[in-house]
Amino acid sequence: MNLAAAKAALAHLDLDENPASVKSKSRDFFWYSPVLKARLDHVVADFVVSPRSEAEVIEVLRTCYAHDVPVTVRGAGTGNYGQAMPLAGGCVMHLKHLDKIREIAPGRVVAEPGIVIRELDAQTRAASGQELRMMPSTAATATLGGFIAGGSGGVGSVRWGALRDLGNIIRLRVVTMEAEPQIHEFTGEELHRVSHAYGTNGIITEIEMPLAPAYDWVSGFVTLPDFEMAAAFGAALAAEDGILLKLVTVCEAPIAEAYFQRFKGHVTPEDTTAIVMVAPHAMPAFETFLARWPAAKLIFRSDAPDWARDPGPAYEYGWNHTTLRALKVEPRITYLQVRYHGPDYLETIARVRAHFGSELMQHLEVMRENGQIIYAGLTLVRFTTEERLEDIVRIHEDMGAMIFNPHRYTLEEGGRQSADARQLAFKREADPKGLLNPGKMIAWDVPDWSYETIYAYAGMRAAQ
């Protein structure tokens, strides 16, 4: 790695070498995980470059390739798996300047990766009454490119499924890291080469996404006396095909009372809560549905607010904002990402909950998967030791719940614990020196890895 030469060659770009800001731009939200915090807290890049165009992206990649400097791409750094942590140092490429919308049409938008999702939605809404089908709960700061490279779904998945499902990304334009970087346009099956690949095999420079109508979604908060009833309520609500929803979150008691500051006085420690986003024209049907569940109480609706302090949008209580709010109050809290599907998914959830008691707090998000209603669990965990956390993961798996382990920084360990042949094959082509986000793809480093212990990237730069 010839850092000095690379920096000199890139000096005419927006280059940041200030130690404090380089350190801050070398971090994402890995610290949700005590396991990752112990391993990644010291990680820092050598410099940050923020290209202003695709041409400058290509220049950065060509230059860093020539000087063997690793390049880790980032957006807002809201990922929780250490997706944007530059394990081997080198260059962090920040895409904040690539924030333009190129085209808005019925049902789709073409944009640059660095645009903040809330800003994108504001622009598409103003221009066409449309917005993205789905977004992370961090939409206020997260970028579109970061969501595609590091995310998997979120607010909107109750209707549209996961980000990688057919049709939820239309086209990606990708630059490779070679002596002479190449540009590829990917659609269809090819999208899987680079979506959710953490920037390990190319840099996304343009994105075409489907759009859905942008309604003035009503945030609704519902209390229920019982968790299993609430889980059944959420699933039944989402199964109403005629009630247009954007979010259905279920939080076991006492999550709302204990961690949602603005809920104080409106909920008790015994209240399970369901948090929903409903299209305004579906509110009458939602009220009709609610009346069929006499134990469910609608305690807040944003179209007729009656709390002294505005609680803000519903989606900032769902997905990983639930975790964020909990760990701000109770720092030992971390979480799991669980998938409950199959015909008995509600029973699986009940069994898991009964097994663990208060060590876990159940937090569920409705998703669609293969045309079915399923639950993602973003279970809150009262962390004690890494060993116990491993036990908790194993017990979930033994009980039939699938885990996407958020205490791992590699694609494989955070995913399905197996190599993705398409991502690996494209990395061979697009990143022959293995300089893109090093240490995140085990299949590249150690092809015969057994997954028996947590992977420790050998090239990780030591704490200084």
Binding site for its own copies (CB under 8 A): 105-108, 129, 133, 159-161, 165-168, 170-171, 187-189, 210-213, 215-216, 235, 238-244, 279-282, 284-289, 291, 343, 368-373
The residue among 210 and 400 lying less far from its own copies, judged by its C-beta, is 210
Least Cβ distance, residue 370 to its own copies (angstroms):
5
The residue among 195 and 437 lying less far from its own copies, judged by its C-beta, is 195
The residue among 68 and 240 lying less far from its own copies, judged by its C-beta, is 240
The residue among 107 and 269 lying less far from its own copies, judged by its C-beta, is 107
The residue among 107 and 432 lying less far from its own copies, judged by its C-beta, is 107
Q: What whole-number distance in Å separates Cα of residue 152 and Cα of residue 154? A: 7
The residue among 207 and 243 lying less far from its own copies, judged by its C-beta, is 243
The residue among 13 and 283 lying less far from its own copies, judged by its C-beta, is 283
Residues 6+ apart with CB under 8 A from 255: 273, 322, 326, 361, 363, 380
The residue among 334 and 423 lying less far from its own copies, judged by its C-beta, is 423
Here the tokens at position 286 are 């939602």
Least Cβ distance, residue 153 to its own copies (angstroms):
11
Least Cβ distance, residue 382 to its own copies (angstroms):
33
Q: What whole-number distance in Å separates Cα of residue 354 and Cα of residue 330? A: 22
Least Cβ distance, residue 166 to its own copies (angstroms):
4
Least Cβ distance, residue 286 to its own copies (angstroms):
8
Strands of the sheet containing 333-335, edge to edge, are 333-335, 380-382, 360-361
Least Cβ distance, residue 209 to its own copies (angstroms):
9
The residue among 178 and 369 lying less far from its own copies, judged by its C-beta, is 369
In b/e form, how buried is each residue of 159-192, taking b as 16+ CB within 10 angstroms?
A: bbbbbeeeebbbbbbbbbbeeebeebebeeebbb
Residue of 34, 44, 31 lying closest to 80 (CA atoms): 31
The residue among 243 and 436 lying less far from its own copies, judged by its C-beta, is 243
The residue among 101 and 279 lying less far from its own copies, judged by its C-beta, is 279
The residue among 153 and 406 lying less far from its own copies, judged by its C-beta, is 153
Least Cβ distance, residue 404 to its own copies (angstroms):
19
Q: What is the 3-state secondary structure (H, E, C) of the chain?
A: CCHHHHHHHCCCCCEECCHHHHHHHCCCCHHHCHHHHHHHCCCCCCEEECCCCHHHHHHHHHHHHHCCCCEEEECCCCCCCCCCCCCCCCEEEECCCCCCEEEEECCEEEECCCCEHHHHHHHHHHHHCEEECCECCCCCCCEHHHHHHHCCCCECHHHHCCCCCCCCCCEEEEECCCCCCCEEEECHHHHHHCCCCCCCCCEEEEEEEEEEECCCCEEEEEEECCHHHHHHHHHHHHCCCCCCEEEEEEECCCHHHHHCHHHECCECCCCEEEEEEECHHHHHHHHHHHHCCCCCEEEEECCCCCCCCCCCCHHHHCCHHHHHHHHHHCCCEEECCEEECCCCHHHHHHHHHHHHHHHEECEEEEEEECCEEEEEECCEEECCCHHHHHHHHHHHHHCCCEECCCCCCCCCCCCCCCCCHHHHHHHHHHCCCCCECCCCCHHHHCCCCCCCCCCCCCCCCCCC
Least Cβ distance, residue 442 to its own copies (angstroms):
28
Least Cβ distance, residue 185 to its own copies (angstroms):
11
Least Cβ distance, residue 369 to its own copies (angstroms):
8
Least Cβ distance, residue 120 to its own copies (angstroms):
16
